[in-house]
Amino acid sequence: MAEALTLDAFARWLKQFAETVHDNVGLLTDLDSAIGDADHGTNMDRGFKAVVSVLDGNGFESPDALFKKVGMTLVSTVGGASGPLYGTFFLRFGSALQGVEAVGTQELGKALRAGVEGIVTRGKAELEDKTMYDAWAPALEAFDRAAPEGTAAALAAAATAAGEGRDATTDMLARKGRASYLGERSIGHQDPGATSATMLLESAAATLA
């Protein structure tokens, strides 16, 4: 078993993701221009900049307090559909860590699953609707399969699986969100939400391992 994850590690994860989002504002917005409303990159960038200043300006007593603050910050700053979805993810992720003394691989897996369940409840998405859930669902499975090998292996497997799920969204017909208005014309475009969700897991693999 790897060592328990620290508050510093979680902060590094979120800061790494904020940086990745910032570096990819153009990509995320271009993907969203094709099938949505051209704001995913700028909204996520605004939200995670706010997260970084919250992390820098506050001390947190526990991971659940940190992630609940992160969730509320996202709900309050991102807007669009991404705000409630990412906000709900981190709120539920934090709730799952409440009272947990040491966050090991199992606890992290449970928190990820709780976060994704929150996304599904809020967004009512199903598999192959061409949403971020198409990256999350295979990632959770891969995480659990690799969990016996430890946090690093589980997160690496999850990030890889998320990337495959993200790539698979290209051929899907959108059935949720603004992309669903396009019908057949949504086919051939990679889903922006699945793209940012994959980046979140890649950042986790890079910082929490």
Partner 1 sequence: MKKLINDPADVVKEALRGMEAAHPGHLRVDHDHAIIYRKDAPRQGKVALISGGGSGHEPLHGGFVGTGMLDAACAGEVFTSPVPDQMMEATKQVDGGAGVLHIVKNYTGDVMNFEMAAEMAAADSGIEVQSVVTDDDVAVQDSLYTAGRRGVGITVLLEKIVGAAAEEGRPLQEIADLATRINSQGRSMGMALTSCTVPSAGKATFDLADNEMEVGIGIHGEPGRKRLPLASAKDVASLLVDPVVADLPYGKGDSVIAFVNGMGGTPLIELYVMYNEVAQILEQAGITVARSLVGNYITSLDMAGCSVTLLKVDDELVGLWDAPVNTPGLRWGC
29 is an interface residue for partner 1 by CB under 8 A: yes
Q: Which of 16, 24, 82, 196 binds partner 1 (CB under 8 A)?
A: 82
**Range 154-161, long-range pairs (CB < 8 A, 24+ positions):** 154/105, 154/108, 154/109, 155/108, 155/201, 155/204, 155/205, 155/208, 155/209, 156/205, 156/209, 158/112, 158/201, 158/204, 158/205, 159/198, 159/201, 159/202, 159/204, 159/205
Segment interacting with partner 1 (CB under 8 A) among 3-11, 36-44, 101-109, 157-165:
36-44
The CA-CA-CA angle for residues 23, 47, 65, to 5°, reads 120
Which residue, 58 or 76, is less far from partner 1 as judged by CB? 76
Q: Which of 77, 95, 106, 170 binds partner 1 (CB under 8 A)?
A: 77
* CA quadruple 88, 91, 96, 101: dihedral, nearest 10: 160
Report the nearest approach of partner 1 to the CB of residue 44 (Å).
11
Q: Which of 2, 7, 22, 42 binds partner 1 (CB under 8 A)?
A: 42
Q: Which of 3, 98, 127, 183 binds partner 1 (CB under 8 A)?
A: 183
Element spanning 133, H or E: helix 133-146
Give residue for tokens 């939200």: 47
177 is an interface residue for partner 1 by CB under 8 A: yes
Q: Which of 33, 62, 95, 170 binds partner 1 (CB under 8 A)?
A: 33
127 is an interface residue for partner 1 by CB under 8 A: no
185 is an interface residue for partner 1 by CB under 8 A: yes
Report the nearest approach of partner 1 to the CB of residue 79 (Å).
4
81 is an interface residue for partner 1 by CB under 8 A: yes
Q: Which of 50, 141, 175, 209 binds partner 1 (CB under 8 A)?
A: 175
Taking alpha carbons only, the member of 143, 114, 119, 117 closest to residue 131 is 119
83 is an interface residue for partner 1 by CB under 8 A: yes
Give residue for tokens 């790494």: 16
